[in-house]
Structure 1
């Protein structure tokens, strides 16, 4: 083997080592797997909330409202039992198992009597009526 041939192999090896050192991790994602993503819309009478809850059963979702604070939580179980002896080995496992939660505040208190919650196609839909408030009522001065 000539010195030239050895030099070429080393030149190929060194850049590969550095490339692997500075490569982004395989599991890096822009959003955490255990994050509930929401959209909140408002009109004069109510708030409309859409929360992504893919793969979660309605029995595993909890919604609580205190004044203007809304909290959504759920138990997530996306793990599937692996059968032994099927000849496959796991290379990457990005599934999540555990609890997720999200809380947010609204500008107005919610009238809990009129709240509606539906789970449709992996999306939790909340209708949160605004509670009438006396805070904006002007008091005449005598």
Structure 2
């Protein structure tokens, strides 16, 4: 005797779709990442940003009053050859950026940045706080 199974084709189409994680390819693990530590003392802010695999020329830092923005772009190309025969060529381009609202404006003229071994170090001196001036009414 044959067993008859009633199946809905729509269920077969979606079966497992929401169970498996979506894979964005092997380049997803190589996407640029930025891990940032931000510290503050009475005189300045210090930023320690890890940007592995990013070139110094591809990092951009901007200061607008009390807003700090860091962006980095990573370009990677890989070509595998065997003799004269090209087996594979892969390219990856990605960008990452972070912005922070600091508690006090930064003195852009005295700010410094260093990049060594994939680590960006920023020293951001605070602007001197201006005292509110009271106006006398005549």
Same-fold call, TM cutoff 0.5: yes
Give the TM-score, by structure 1 length.
0.66
Show the counterpart of 1:110.
Answer: 106
C-alpha distance in structure 1 between counterparts of 2:30 and 2:81, whole Å:
28
C-alpha distance in structure 2 between counterparts of 1:119 and 1:63, whole Å:
12
Structure 2: segments with no counterpart, 5+ residues: 1-14
C-alpha distance in structure 2 between counterparts of 1:20 and 1:66, whole Å:
45
More helix by share: 1
> Residue 131 of structure 1: which of 109, 118, 127 is its match?
127
5 Å-filtered alignment, 1:1-142, equals 22-27=19-24, 33-83=31-81, 85=85, 96-135=92-131, 137=132
RMSD, aligned α-carbons: 3.6
Give the TM-score, by structure 2 length.
0.67
Displacement of 1:21: 6.3
Structure 1: segments with no counterpart, 5+ residues: 1-17
Equivalenced residue count is: 123
More strand by share: 2
Displacement of 1:82: 3.5
Displacement of 1:103: 1.2
